[in-house]
Amino acid sequence: MQQGVSADIREPEGFLRGSSMIAEIKASRIEFVISVPDITTSEGLLRPLSQGSTPRLIRVCKEDEGVGICAGLSYTERRSLLLIQQTGLLDSVNAVRGVAVEYALPICMMVGLLEKEPGIPPKQSKRYGVRIVEPILDAMGIAYHEIEGDADVAKIGPAIDDAYARSRPVVLLIGRRPS
Amino acid sequence: MKRDECLKVLARHVTDTDIVLPVYSAAFDWIDIRPHPLNYLSHGAMGLASSHALGLALGRPDRRIIVLDGDGSLLMNLGSLVTIAAAAPPNLFHFVCHNGTYEANGGHPIPGRDRVDFCGFARSAGYPTVHEFSDLKIFEQQIGALLARPGPVFADLKITSSGPQERDYSRLHGPHVRKAFRAALAAG
């Protein structure tokens, strides 16, 4: 293993509880979750969300639709969360660029990192599709937070609050499958 | 039907509390026909207006949301028909201005312009009310009743161009437009 990579390897922080994430999402006053199923969050997050009545789940056919829906909702003072996979985020880059960034709207995205290795920072992933996500967000000037262990769940609420307070997009990168 | 004539008829049925999302060429006609802060004009590109409309419809069920889509735009976001029909907002009215061209991008034809059936798409997606209009007089007779129906409603407006337009995109995408819309919506 390369020296530089091994020096940055993180200790896996146990596990990530879907129930904690849902509690945090609800505490953040999210009323709508807009989603295309994501493998990372499918069972631990999307499945239980789909079985509850709040927040209301809106299933979309393609992720850029979700950017538009969240934008429309933002004008109505109703909070929403776009729950997708990084493949969908990459597919939606133009919508995120135009609607979220250039219009300065609080589009909050929770993005599962497909095939990310536990304990490895996304930028150091061996997976090209994982490794490029944060540099793209950096280039677009979009704030992001890594959510990989239960201790990270507390970042969710402040990140969402900040996005709405400053009317700016934010991305929450989910680095492991929630239990 | 010429698009501007059709939209003038529609404008007579739009109230001060309705939110209207016109797209591209329809937008430039509409903002002259019905200048109003509740025109929602900043929906980016690539056909997302109907998705913005769904967000507004979910967030403000007390308002009628009227989207004036383009045919090229809708082709870029056909999945939104399925999403809207599934979410079933009773306050969403989805019109497509259908002239078979990407009018704002040089007038090139849309794919399949002689075969594409937008009403068929909407019906198959699950819109409960679907209409097609190609005659202005019939549109004038029926539009009031159509806007009184529970949504989501879909209507294919077979139109021709209104003619040359001066397209100042800052009238659609300028920050002042979004600020005025936000303030008008918050006030009501």
End-to-end CA distance of chain B: 34
Contact B74, B82 (CB under 8 A): no
CB atoms B60 and A64 under 8 Å = no
End-to-end CA distance of chain A: 29
CB atoms A60 and B83 under 8 Å = yes
Phi, psi of B17 (to 5 degrees): -100, -5
* B99/B109 Cα distance (integer angstroms): 9
CB atoms A65 and B46 under 8 Å = no
In terms of Cα–Cα distance, which of A169, A103, A166 is closest to A141? A169
Q: What is the pLDDT of residues A45-98, one digit of tens each?
A: 999 999 999 999 999 999 999 999 999 999 999 999 999 999 999 999 999 999
SS3 A79: strand
Q: Which two tokens stand for residue B155?
A: 């209507």
CB atoms B55 and A95 under 8 Å = no
In terms of Cα–Cα distance, which of B103, B115, B108, B12 is closest to B66? B12
Can you tell me which residue has the tokens 């190609």? Answer: B134
Q: Which CATH superfamily is domain B3-187 in?
A: Thiamin diphosphate (ThDP)-binding fold, Pyr/PP domains (3.40.50.970)
- How many Cβ atoms are within 10 Å of A22's Cβ, its own excluded? 20
- Chain B contact set for A73 (CB, 8 A): 55-56, 58-59
SS3 B5: helix
- CATH architecture designation of domain A3-174: 3-Layer(aba) Sandwich (3.40)
% of chain A at pLDDT higher than 90: 90
Q: What is the pLDDT of residues A93-125, one digit of tens each?
A: 999 999 999 999 999 999 999 999 989 999 999
Contact B17/A at CB under 8 A: no
DSSP tag of B162: -
**How would DSSP label each residue in B72-115?**
HHHHHTTHHHHHHHHH--TTEEEEEEE-SEEGGGTSEEPTTTTT
pLDDT, position A101: 97
CA distance B87 to chain A (A): 7
Mutate to test the interface with B, among A69, A107, A167 (most CBs of B within 10 A): A69
Position B110 pLDDT exceeds 50: yes
Contact B43/A at CB under 8 A: yes
Phi, psi of A6 (to 5 degrees): -65, -30
Position B131 pLDDT exceeds 50: yes
CB atoms B79 and A73 under 8 Å = no
User: In chain A, where are the structural domains located?
Assistant: 3-174
| Rounded (10°) CA dihedral B169, B172, B174, B177 | 160
- Chain A contact set for B51 (CB, 8 A): 60, 64-69, 72
Per-residue pLDDT band at A14 (split at 50, 70, 90): low
CB atoms B51 and A58 under 8 Å = no
Q: Look up the pTM and report it.
A: 0.94
Q: What is the pLDDT of residues B137-186, one digit of tens each?
A: 999 999 999 999 999 999 999 999 888 888 888 888 889 999 999 999 99
